[in-house]
Structures are given as structure tokens and as C-alpha cells.
Amino acid sequence: MSVYSWDEVGKYQKDVARIITNSYRLNRIAHAYIFEGPNGTKKTSTAFLYAKSLLCTNPNHFNPCNECHNCRRIDNRTHPNVFYIKPKGKVIKKEQIKNLINEFSKASIEKGPRIYIIEEADKLNLTSSNTLLKTMEEPGQDIYQILITENYNSLLKTIISRAETLHFKPIDRNLIKDHLLKQGIQPNIANSISEYTVDMGSAIKFAEGFEMINIIKLVTEIYKGILVKEISPVMLFRDSSQEIFKSYDFTDFFLTLMIFYQKDVLHYQLRNHDNICFLEEMDTIKKLSEKISQKNIEKNIINMLGLKARLKYNINNKLAFDKMLACLERGY
């Protein structure tokens, strides 16, 4: 999801927006930045907003108009003065950087600054890093550089020393939840997804995907089944297990939500109602909390966390999940 103004960036990354806009006001815009932080924190969209701010023909206090020919071409990744590089395979190769340097050695097709944006800059290998250093040492007056990374410590120290680093923090979960609610997503789903991920893009994809929605519904059905006793959680799960085991993401999402729900029962017992994720399941959560001790809840959570840690290993998922659900049912 793109951002179109520095005020909008400020909603997600207050410090980043403040530093860049203050630098503009003081005429101290850096020629090289490193945008560092977790996935889904608006690093790439902020980099392209920065490019638009530099090239927009009708800017308003460093905010691009988002309508001029330059802004539209940057949005479409077709502006000849904006270069975007990402890894080819597992690394960014020396040849990619050499081609970039070659482009910058030529006369610009159009007037205005030239900007290059390197995605996953931590995947620069040693030779491509050293090649890039040459452009960072003497970038030129109208050349601007942005390196984007989730693994800051993997960058060469010499590269870090030649750029200003801006740290992108995980997006506030309430912002993600509010965005999903405004899109008409049900509260249970919005709460669950915003608790699961702080990546806005992933959150939107989850909310739009029927697989994730079905997993959320299955979790609520399993806990209701535990309460009713007539419906076996193991059998409920088996009916959907083929879809859940289709990918690691689905399996992890299901198990994480099972943990969230179990924590909700604990929060209810401790009267921490503000921390409850499945707010629309409050009646079921209340009844479950009356049937189990705090010690057994904590035991269930520890067992689930242990299974979650083993998911990436070669385990018998079917057997492990059947055992986990059977133990959960007996605990109530």
C-alpha cells in the first residue's frame, strides 16, 4: 500500500517523516539514506515518495502533487531518472551495480535529480558492495541514493558510514486493525490479523483471502466445540486439515490463533478484558474460563508454543495436531 504525503508517512513512521521533512526545511537533505527496519513498515513506499518529492513539478512543502507527469511515471516505475534495483536470485550482483553506474555516467535524458533505490541492500555481495561504494564516495550534486534493508548489520560498515540511517519501526497494531475495520472487515477477523502481523500489506492480503478467514472461523468453532462437548475438536480440525497443512503460513496462522484464543481465556480470568483478541467470542470465552484452572491454561499455551517452534522441522503434523487438540479438550 503506497503513501502519498509525508503526513501519511507520519501516521506509520513519525520519526522518519519528521527527520526528512525537517531536513528539507533546513536544506540539509542527505544524498544517501539507509531505510532500515522489519518487513511491512513502509520502507519501499516511502523511498518512492521521496523520489516523487524530489522530482514533482508542483510540490507543496516537499509533498508531491501525485498528479503531474513525473509523479505518475514514478508511481508506474517508468520515470527515466528513477532507478530501482532488487536481487536477481539470492544476491545483488556486481553486474547490476555496474549497469547502474554506467547509466549515471551518461547525460540525463531529462532535467532534475536522479535517484536510485536498492531493495534488500543486505543482499549486495562483497564485489557489488565495493562497486557501489564508488558511487557513494562521490555521488554528484543531483544524485540521491536509498538503500532498503531488513538486515542492517549485514551491510558493509563502509556503506553505513556513507549514508544517513533511518530506522523504521513495526507499525502499531491498532493502525492495522483500524484500517481493516474501515474496509468493512469483521472485528474478529481484524483483531486476529492485526495481532498476527504488523505488516500492513500482509494484513490486507490475509483479510482478502478466504483461506485465512476460514482458519479464523475454524478456531472459534473448535473452542465452541470444546464447550458443547458434542463436537470433537479433533474431528472438526480433520475436516479442514488438508487446507491448513497446504502451506507453513496457514499452519502457523492456525496455531497462532489457537494460542491467542487460549490467552483470551486467561485474560478473562485475570480480568484483563482490554487485551482480549476475540471480542465477539466473549460469551464462549467466559464459559471456558469457568471450566479450567489458570495452571491448565498456562500448560496448554506452553504445549502450543512448543508445537509452534517445531513446525519448521520435519514432524508428523497430523499426529502432533491431533494430540494437541485432544489434550486441549481433556483440559476442559
What does each of the 332 residues of the chain score in pLDDT, given as a tens digit? 688 999 999 999 999 999 999 999 999 999 999 999 999 899 999 999 999 999 999 999 899 999 999 999 999 999 999 999 999 889 999 999 999 988 888 878 888 999 999 999 999 999 999 989 877 877 677 899 999 999 999 999 999 999 999 999 999 999 999 999 999 998 888 999 999 998 888 899 889 888 989 999 999 999 998 888 777 888 889 888 999 999 999 999 999 999 999 999 999 999 999 889 998 999 999 999 999 999 999 999 999 999 999 988 878 889 999 999 998 988 88
pLDDT at 136: 84
DSSP conformation class of 292? S
pLDDT at 139: 67
Residue with cell 531529462: 110
pLDDT at 106: 82
Q: Please indicate, yes or no, if residue 180 is contained in any of the structural domains.
A: no
133 and 250 in a common domain:
no
C-alpha to C-alpha distance for 179 and 309, rounded to whole angstroms: 30
C-alpha to C-alpha distance for 282 and 153, rounded to whole angstroms: 44
Q: Please indicate, yes or no, if residue 179 is contained in any of the structural domains.
A: no
C-alpha to C-alpha distance for 151 and 131, rounded to whole angstroms: 20
240 and 302 in a common domain:
yes
Q: Is the pTM of the predicted complex or chain greater than 0.75?
A: yes
Q: Please indicate, yes or no, if residue 282 is contained in any of the structural domains.
A: yes
Q: What range does the domain containing 91 cover?
A: 6-167
161 and 86 in a common domain:
yes
Q: Please indicate, yes or no, if residue 75 is contained in any of the structural domains.
A: yes
151 and 297 in a common domain:
no
Number of domain units in the chain: 2
C-beta separation of 200 from 42 below 8 A: yes
Cβ neighbours around 59 below 10 Å, total: 16
Measured between alpha carbons, how far apart are the two ends of the chain, in Å?
A: 43
CATH number of the CATH domain containing 40? 3.40.50.300
Q: Please indicate, yes or no, if residue 193 is contained in any of the structural domains.
A: no
Closest of 176, 169, 131, 132 to residue 150, by C-alpha: 169
20 and 125 in a common domain:
yes
| Boundary of a domain, candidates 167, 200, 235 | 167
* CB-side neighbour CA atoms (13 Å) of 119: 16
23 and 159 in a common domain:
yes
Backbone torsions φ then ψ of 142, nearest 5 degrees: -110, 30
138 and 54 in a common domain:
yes
pLDDT at 200: 87
pLDDT at 108: 81
Q: Please indicate, yes or no, if residue 268 is contained in any of the structural domains.
A: yes
217 and 161 in a common domain:
no
Q: Please indicate, yes or no, if residue 291 is contained in any of the structural domains.
A: yes
227 and 140 in a common domain:
no
313 and 220 in a common domain:
yes
239 and 93 in a common domain:
no
List all residues 6 or more positions away from 282 whose beta carbon is below 8 Å from its beta carbon: 268, 276
23 and 137 in a common domain:
yes
pLDDT at 172: 92
C-alpha to C-alpha distance for 304 and 329, rounded to whole angstroms: 13
Q: Please indicate, yes or no, if residue 190 is contained in any of the structural domains.
A: no
